[in-house]
Amino acid sequence: METAHPGTGRALTQTEIIDCVQDAFLAGSASKIDLINAALRCDARPAVFAAINKLPERRFTSVLDMLSCMTEVTFQAAR
């Protein structure tokens, strides 16, 4: 199931989330707050913040660990 951003028709993808939060993992694991701060620095769309807010309250060891908890977000290769 794809999560569309209201008004844009653009589905939220794993690639977009990775682009917005990957900096949070530069020093190792990341908490939800670390992910939110990285998304703020990236000027992420509201859909990214909504997906982060659905994550459990814990530290994520990697981007893949975080994505494993985001089963509703699809992977979309660049076109």
Tokens of residue 11, six digits:
């589905």
Q: What angle do CA 5, 64, 49 make, to 5 degrees?
A: 30
Structure confidence at residue 28 (pLDDT): 95
pLDDT per residue of the chain (79 residues) written in tens, 0 to 9: 344 444 456 889 999 999 999 999 999 999 999 999 999 999 999 999 999 999 999 999 999 999 999 988 876 655 4
Structure confidence at residue 71 (pLDDT): 83
Counting Cβ atoms within 10 Å, is residue 56 exposed (0-12), middle (13-18) or buried (19+)?
exposed
pTM: 0.82
What is the secondary structure of 2-64 as a DSSP string? Answer: -EEPTTT-PEEBHHHHHHHHGGGGTTS-B-HHHHHHHHHHHT--HHHHHHHHTS-SS-BSSHH
